[in-house]
Structure 1
Amino acid sequence: MEEPTVAGPLDQLARQAERSPALWATVVPALRQMIVSGALAPGAHLPEGELAAALEMSRGPIREALIELEREGLVVLRRHRGAQVIALTDEDIEEIYTLRLSLEQLAITRALPRLTDEHLATMDDVLEQMRALGPDYEPQTALDLDFAFHDVLYQAAAHSRLDRAWQQIRSQVAMLLHSRHVARRDFHEIAYAEHKAIRDIITSGDTTAATEAINHHLTGAYHRLITARH
């Protein structure tokens, strides 16, 4: 099987560097977005030298960026073999989703008594954007709206360690969801109804029903992702 190449994405990164001399300050977000979107394919090698040349910078900031992306679970660093974009297996995905489910069950339990009118207004705005989506939606738009809704729960939970745990797997979840939206374009058909159900239960203040709704939502998302992969 032909090994994934980074030549095209590196050319794109170099053009961005020409337009934005300060891109060195955002190399982590730039590489993260390329991995999440699939521009840098799973299994692609990320040679420090080529990245440094494309961005016209030393290898130091590139190495630091790759270490950060390894912490986020997007890159694997192997001695003498360099960096490589993670290729997630079905077992990896099951671990990510079961962990996310546990985190979100805690988040919604803590969030219910702490949700403010501002939190609810943010949710309602996201819901309206979900409802307005058509079949031609961009995968990144679906991802952004999905995260915007769930981020409210983490913010309202007011639990710093919970938030850090979510941030550690957030990029991997983003990578999975983006690939799922590319493979199967049905977010506009299911997103509004499922998230609206969670919003309605939150209003009722029923913690048990809220955790059940999160379980139903994320379990369904997991099965749709696995189906889209096979």
Structure 2
Amino acid sequence: MTTVESTTPRKGAPQIERPPSMVQLAAQSLRRMIIGGDLLPGDRVVENQLTKELGISRPPLREALRVLEREGLIRQVSHKGAIVTPLTLHDVYEIVTLRRVLERMAIDLALPVTDGARLARCRSALGAMELAAADDDPAALSEAAFGFHLSVIGLSGHDRLEDTYRSLYLQMLLCMVLNRRARAQRAETPAQDVQRHRRLLELIEAGDPAPVLAELEHHGDRTFIADIADTLDDGSPQARAWLDRLRAEASHEPREPAEPEARG
């Protein structure tokens, strides 16, 4: 009699997790180098240097680059090879304006917040930012900052809105890298970055949409735009007009006071 073994896993059977491959580890390291600002948009990816830094051979490195290319973080350019996906002024214009529309819609739908679990998600995301800042981990801080803003979108209880925001993840992270670099040049510390997000959460908890929307409008993008926009290529007339309008508005606003590094 022939016994046929079932290929269906038994209910409750423990799953054996496979360790990450060399390609996965290399892709993760490269991703963190980009998100953390070690490799900026437009930078050339030098394979010889990376094989030494990561301690791997060329085949897994090249496969890892293909993974990041599929994600949109790496682009292959003729006569240059692999580069970190550059951002044009028009890219920044589209990303920032779309982000603002989505966040405004979320706040309009969410406030005042009546679901304690949704606020708890925001507090947890802020806690992740605090840990990343304490560890002085730029990549983790960028990821945690996105997670915080995603949790703010989640206050709306609108799943499709949150999915749309999440789809901008990698593009927003590239913007955040440049934004964080610009703010660092103005001597903003990671602790002050966290404090800006804490202030936003406090306004959300207060329940009045108007101050929250005003805070989001001046949450940090303007520093980024003012400092690095002129270094970006391919500014469409539409993007240039938007930039000029933002700069004109900023010139009539009082300068933000410095935030304390820690709360008493």
Q: Give the alignment's TM-score, normalised by structure 1.
A: 0.63
Q: Which residue of 2 aligns with 1:177?
A: 179
Q: How far is 1:33 from its partner? A: 1.4
Aligned counterparts, 1:12-161, within 5 A: 22-46=21-45, 54-55=56-57, 57=59, 61-62=63-64, 64-70=66-72, 74-79=73-78, 81-112=80-111, 116-125=115-124, 127=126, 139-140=138-139, 142-157=141-156, 158-159=159-160, 160-161=162-163
Unaligned ranges ≥5, structure 1:
1-19
Q: How far is 1:31 from its partner? A: 1.6
2:142 and 2:60 map into 1 onto residues whose CA distance is 33
Q: Is the 8 A contact 2:121 2:151 kept in 1?
A: yes
Q: How far is 1:125 from its partner? A: 4.9
1:124 and 1:177 map into 2 onto residues whose CA distance is 23
Evaluate the alpha carbon distance shift between residue 64 and residue 136 of structure 1 in structure 2; reply closer, same or farther with a 3 A threshold. Answer: closer
2:104 and 2:127 map into 1 onto residues whose CA distance is 24
SS of residue paired to 1:35: helix
Q: Is the 8 A contact 2:112 2:208 kept in 1?
A: no
Q: How far is 1:111 from its partner? A: 4.0
* Cα offsets for 1:30-78 (capped at 9, x unmatched): 22211222323443333679878934535773353142242xxx33333
1:136 and 1:63 map into 2 onto residues whose CA distance is 27
Amino acid at match of 1:75: I
Q: How far is 1:150 from its partner? A: 1.3
Q: Is the 8 A contact 2:45 2:82 kept in 1?
A: yes
Evaluate the alpha carbon distance shift between residue 137 and residue 24 of structure 1 in structure 2; reply closer, same or farther with a 3 A threshold. Answer: closer
Q: Is the 8 A contact 1:24 1:55 kept in 2?
A: no
Instruction: Name the count of aligned residue pairs.
Output: 204
SS of residue paired to 1:76: strand
Q: Which residue of 2 aligns with 1:9?
A: none
2:135 and 2:183 map into 1 onto residues whose CA distance is 11
Q: How far is 1:208 from its partner? A: 4.5
Q: Which residue of 2 aligns with 1:167?
A: 169
Q: Give the alignment's TM-score, normalised by structure 2.
A: 0.57
Q: How far is 1:205 from its partner? A: 3.7
Structure with the larger helix share: 1
1:62 and 1:131 map into 2 onto residues whose CA distance is 30
2:49 and 2:134 map into 1 onto residues whose CA distance is 38
Larger CA Rg, structure 1 vs 2:
2
2:197 to 192, 195, 198: 195
Evaluate the alpha carbon distance shift between residue 55 and residue 177 of structure 1 in structure 2; reply closer, same or farther with a 3 A threshold. Answer: farther
1:211 to 210, 213, 217: 213
Evaluate the alpha carbon distance shift between residue 170 and residue 130 of structure 1 in structure 2; reply closer, same or farther with a 3 A threshold. Answer: closer
SS of residue paired to 1:64: helix
Q: How far is 1:142 from its partner? A: 4.5
* Cα offsets for 1:61-112 (capped at 9, x unmatched): 3353142242xxx333335653212343555434332222122222333444
Q: How far is 1:214 from its partner? A: 1.9
Evaluate the alpha carbon distance shift between residue 86 and residue 184 of structure 1 in structure 2; reply closer, same or farther with a 3 A threshold. Answer: farther
Evaluate the alpha carbon distance shift between residue 202 and residue 78 of structure 1 in structure 2; reply closer, same or farther with a 3 A threshold. Answer: same
Q: Is the 8 A contact 1:119 1:152 kept in 2?
A: yes
Q: Is the 8 A contact 2:45 2:83 kept in 1?
A: yes
